[in-house]
Amino acid sequence: MKCPQSCERMKMSFGLTFKSAKGHWIANPSWQCSKASIGLFVPASPPLDPEKVKELQRFITLSKRLLVMTGAGISTESGIPDYRSEKVGLYARTDRRPIQHGDFVRSAPIRQRYWARNFVGWPQFSSHQPNPAHWALSTWEKLGKLYWLVTQNVDALHTKAGSRRLTELHGCMHRVLCLDCGEQTPRGVLQERFQVLNPTWSAEAYGLAPDGDVFLSEEQVRSFQVPSCVQCGGHLKPDVVFFGDTVNPDKVDFVHKRVKEADSLLVVGSSLQVSDLARVVTAPCAGLGVLERPPVWFNFF
């Protein structure tokens, strides 16, 4: 699959593109991003080590049931910041921290603030497009190289790139969930409802977070109106796992089964500091001997 023109001049988050040629998986350095806005959140990285590239080529070529796990680092090339990268991650640029699940559920003012900020940030966040890393993984799936893909990300970029053998471990910002009746609606539909309820409301945003959140003052959000569920009048929440919440156990079990079935794991764009993904990597192998465990390639670019 050919990457769209908007992606063609972007360097991949983990520094490599892959193409199938004569039965081998060949790594090729890709291009630097030509748009400064897209490269704004890409952390600095050392030059590619040719020997490491060869090792990765061999790892991919020998894999028969490859499971890939991706984190926020894979989407920085698409213009979405991660949390922990030095100088460019959210934690390095600001003292802001992601919203906590318990705070969102318990507090109407916090829900109002969250949705006001999300309303402002949504047009930009939803417009982000896959970069060559997302397209490469989608191509691997179509060629039968990728067995399953697990992502921590909530940006839907893997889906936009065409990945179907995919588990979004932490959900997706493009869906909205009612906390009372469980009704799901597309996030774009909610944006239209926000606009109807707030026809004259305006705010100047600054900053950007990995989940599409922007930063607004308390004064700006005070008059923002938040709609309720059209089915039951309940509170609405993006269909994602906020910090302090837990991943659905059925989803975790499903991923554990895919890990057990895999013969190799590739971790892309994650430091594994989020415990959910770390457990996904380690828990299924806890009772296995060293020779029974699938090899893991960690890549933190």
The type of residue at 130 is P
Nearest to 6 by CA among 33, 27, 44: 33
Q: Would you say 229 is a known binding-site residue?
A: yes
Residue-wise over 1-20: b if at least 16 C-beta within 10 A, else e?
A: eebeeebeebbbbbbbbbee
Rounded-to-integer distance, Cα 150 and Cα 269, Å: 12
Q: Would you say 232 is a known binding-site residue?
A: yes
Query: Is 101 in the active site?
Result: no
| Contact (Cβ atoms closer than 8 angstroms) between residue 241 and residue 168 | no
3-state secondary structure 244-280: CCCCCHHHHHHHHHHHHHCCEEEEECCCCCCHHHHHH
Rounded-to-integer distance, Cα 170 and Cα 94, Å: 23
| Contact (Cβ atoms closer than 8 angstroms) between residue 225 and residue 198 | yes
Rounded-to-integer distance, Cα 286 and Cα 30, Å: 37
Strands 24-28 and 236-240 come out as unpaired
Q: Would you say 181 is a known binding-site residue?
A: yes
Rounded-to-integer distance, Cα 94 and Cα 125, Å: 19
Angle 70-73-78 (CA atoms, 0-180°, nearest 5)?
A: 105
Among residues 101, 170, 235, 256, the one annotated as catalytic is 170
Can you tell me whether residue 57 is helix, strand or coil?
helix
DSSP code of 119?
A: H
* Binding-site residue positions: 178, 181, 229, 232
Q: Which residues are catalytic?
A: 170
Q: Mark the binding-site residues for Zn(2+), compressed into ranges.
A: 178, 181, 229, 232
